[in-house]
Amino acid sequence: MILSSNLTRFIQHFDWQHIGEQIATTVFQLLLVTVGLLLIDWIGKKIIRHFFKRYKKNKFIEGSANRLDTIFTLVMNLFQYTIIFFWIYAFLSFMGVPVGTLIAGAGIFSLALGLGAQGFVSDIVTGAFLLMEDQINVGDAVMIGKVEGTVSAVGIRTTQVISADGTLNFIPNRNITIVSNKSRHEMRAMVQIPIFPDSPIDQINAIIESVNQTVPAQFPTITQAPTNLGTVPLENGQVVIQVVTFTQPGEQFTVQHKLLSAYLKAINDANIELPTIYHNNSQN
């Protein structure tokens, strides 16, 4: 009986009307903030979608779709996380939780977590700049460090590059310091035709000029007509005639091989003997 009496007095001690009003007020405020944040979320996402859609329509550049889509996803996620953060902050504040004190008290934990996630954050930041600055796009021929190949995916954490032998390389964005993009400008195709020191150079030059007048028309990827640079000695003592031309990105090797074949065939048809070992090179 005594316990029951004490419990009754304890319950009657509370101002239930005041408590109910506080709960109703808190629920109403939280509901109001939730509706407001949902409205902001809907309007914000609509604005972001409209902005990116208009940008694609007015300033779309072939090959940049992946970059724009990735940036769009990144912006949408950041916006969504911001809305969630403010909702949690408001909820804890309405519940009487000292959020500022909790944040200050979690400083050491946050520092440890930040150090552990430093590499991850660095990947995201570097990836964002790679995309925003349009350094690389899917399909570009690139060299990143010692990895050379074609970009297959550009993400906010890793970049994927397929090597010539089919190897798929996953490169953390934080490790990307220098990007050599071979798909943005004209590429140089250098052809080196081996000759003997006593070869009829004038006749060979005439043959090269004849080929230059006919073969390039078969390759619309050639952007600048082949130019005969003349006779050049190599470090190994061999003598070559160098011909240089410029092509669209990625086409330099095909053009180089076709031109070399055409030169050798024409010289052979003229019954001019050439060394059997030759050296050729191609670069941008």
Q: 16 pairs with which residues across the strands?
A: none
- Report the C-alpha gap between 213 and 207 in whole angstroms: 10
Parts of the chain belonging to CATH 3.30.70.100 = 187-270
User: What is the assigned CATH class of domain 136-181?
Assistant: mainly beta
**Tokens (6 digits) for 24:** 């109703």
Contact between 194 and 240 under an 8 Å Cβ cutoff? The reply is: yes
Maximum pairwise Cα distance, the chain: 126
CB atoms within 10 A of CB 211: 19
Q: Could you give the CA distance from residue 106 to residue 102 in angstroms, rounded to a whole number? A: 6
In tens, the pLDDT along 15-45 reads 556 666 677 777 888 888 888 889 998 998 8
Find where tokens 């001019």 sit: 272
Place of tokens 């996620």: 77
pLDDT of res. 282: 43
Q: Is the pLDDT of residue 250 over 80?
A: no
Lowest mean pLDDT, pick from 82-91, 94-103, 130-139, 187-196: 94-103
Q: What is the DSSP letter of 235?
A: T
- Chain mean pLDDT for the chain: 77
Quickly list H helices, 95-117: 99-105, 107-116
By three-state DSSP, how is residue 282 classified?
strand
For domain 18-130, give the fold: Helix Hairpins (1.10.287)
In the predicted structure, residue 169 carries a pLDDT above the cut 90:
yes
* CATH 2.30.30.60 domain extents, the chain: 136-181
Backbone angles phi, psi at 159, to 5 degrees: -120, 135
259-269 tens-digit pLDDT: 888 888 888 88
Beta sheet of 281-283, edge-to-edge order: 222-233, 239-247, 187-195, 281-283
- Residue 9: which pLDDT band, with cuts at 50, 70 and 90? low
pTM passes above 0.75: no
At 222, the pLDDT band (50, 70, 90 cuts) reads confident
Express as a percent the part of the chain with pLDDT over 90. 3
pLDDT band at 170 (very low <50, low <70, confident <90, very high): very high
pLDDT given for residue 278 in this prediction: 45
Specify whether the CB–CB gap between 75 and 135 falls below 8 A. Answer: no
Lowest mean pLDDT among 87-91, 215-219, 238-242, 251-255: 215-219
Which residue would you say has higher pLDDT here, 165 or 122?
165
Those residues with Cβ within 8 angstroms of residue 240's Cβ, 6 or more apart along the chain or in another chain: 192, 193, 194, 195, 231, 232, 234, 278, 279
81-120 pLDDT, tens per residue? 788 888 887 887 777 766 666 555 555 545 555 555 566 6
The number of residues in the chain equals: 284
Could you tell me what percent of the chain has a pLDDT over 70? 74
Domain with CATH 1.10.287.1260 in the chain: 18-130
Fold adopted by 187-270: Alpha-Beta Plaits (3.30.70)
Sequence-distant (≥ 6) Cβ neighbours of residue 123 within 8 angstroms: 156, 157, 158, 172, 173, 174
